[in-house]
Amino acid sequence: MRADEENLPRQECAVTVLGGPTAVIDLGGLRIVVDPTFDDPGPHGYLTKTIGPAVPESRLGPVDAVLVSHDAHPDNLDGRGRAFAMAAPLTLTVPGAAGRLGPRAAGLAPWSTRTLPRRDGGGGELTVQAVPAVHGPEDGERDPQGHINCEVTGFVLSGTGLPTVYVSGDNASMRAVAEIARRVPDIDAAVLNAGAARVRGKFRERPVSMDARRVAAAAAVLGVAVVIPAHYDGWTHFSEGRAELETAFDEAGLSALLRLTGHGSWSPLRG
């Protein structure tokens, strides 16, 4: 590593989106990476990546855990991202993906939890809870396991004295958001995948992730003080971007919640 390529600085309680779905969350003295995608731009099967990560994996420094919402699609886990997840001390993901992501991966069914010892000097634990997600329209065809599009999960991170953070993964379902708000009523911040992703030949090309209006509606339903959008650029299958998010939050009167910083810049998790 050259002198001008220092590691991404540690934060007390913040998140940065690196591009696509990939986010780094510093919380409780831990560094957690969500849905790592570090490949260069180019075709990835039926999807095309247009922008690389703002910070490469070599500059993230020691990582305590990786959260993988699903491993079925390259825009959420590409080649270098998969290698990164498999090398991490712990990867938490959907049950069906755990066996594919190496011996240090653990599958979490919806509403189950895993605790991690905190490193912020105060003792205690950070709890990671898996929460439901639906990767497409509610009326989409389900596979034999009952999943729409593929098995996917969101996560809620919480701990004593820390903000509670919801990470949506590729969820398109407001019904799932409402259930999460009911069962986890005190969420402070949310990292919400947006972009209204549409894939030719799937679900009559209806969105398989939230559009901007649903992201704003999810923020209202959750009652959060901070919203960090992710996964709204960097791939050609997104039908909405930053402008639509700004408009939707403005029209909903929720612009004060929205944190749309440049990729690689930090946003505090407290309002």
For the whole model, what pTM was predicted? Answer: 0.95
pLDDT higher than threshold 50 for residue 13: yes
pLDDT higher than threshold 80 for residue 83: yes
Whether 47 contacts 73, CB under 8 Å? yes
Residue 51 is predicted with a pLDDT of 94
pLDDT higher than threshold 70 for residue 235: yes
Residue 145 is predicted with a pLDDT of 82
pLDDT tens string 16-69:
999 999 999 999 999 999 999 999 999 998 899 999 999 999 999 999 999 999
Provide the token pair at 106: 């653990």
Residue 142 is predicted with a pLDDT of 87
Residue 46 is predicted with a pLDDT of 87
pLDDT higher than threshold 60 for residue 2: no
Question: pLDDT band for position 77 (50/70/90)?
Answer: very high
Provide the token pair at 146: 């009952």
Provide the token pair at 240: 């909405």
Residue 250 is predicted with a pLDDT of 98
Whether 176 contacts 134, CB under 8 Å? yes
Task: Report the interhelical angle of 174-183 vs 212-222 (nearest 10°).
Answer: 20
Residue 138 is predicted with a pLDDT of 84
Instruction: Judge residue 40's burial from the number of C-beta atoms within 10 Å of its C-beta, 0-12 exposed, 13-18 middle, 19 or more buried.
Output: exposed
Tell me what the pLDDT averaged over the chain comes to: 94
Question: pLDDT band for position 1 (50/70/90)?
Answer: very low
Distance in angstroms (rounded) separating the CA atoms of residues 15 and 144: 36
Residue 218 is predicted with a pLDDT of 98
Whether 70 contacts 147, CB under 8 Å? no
pLDDT higher than threshold 70 for residue 239: yes
3-class SS of residue 128: strand
Provide the token pair at 27: 């919380």
Residue 55 is predicted with a pLDDT of 97
Question: pLDDT band for position 123 (50/70/90)?
Answer: confident
pLDDT tens string 169-219:
999 999 999 999 999 999 999 999 999 989 888 888 898 899 999 999 999
pLDDT higher than threshold 60 for residue 4: no
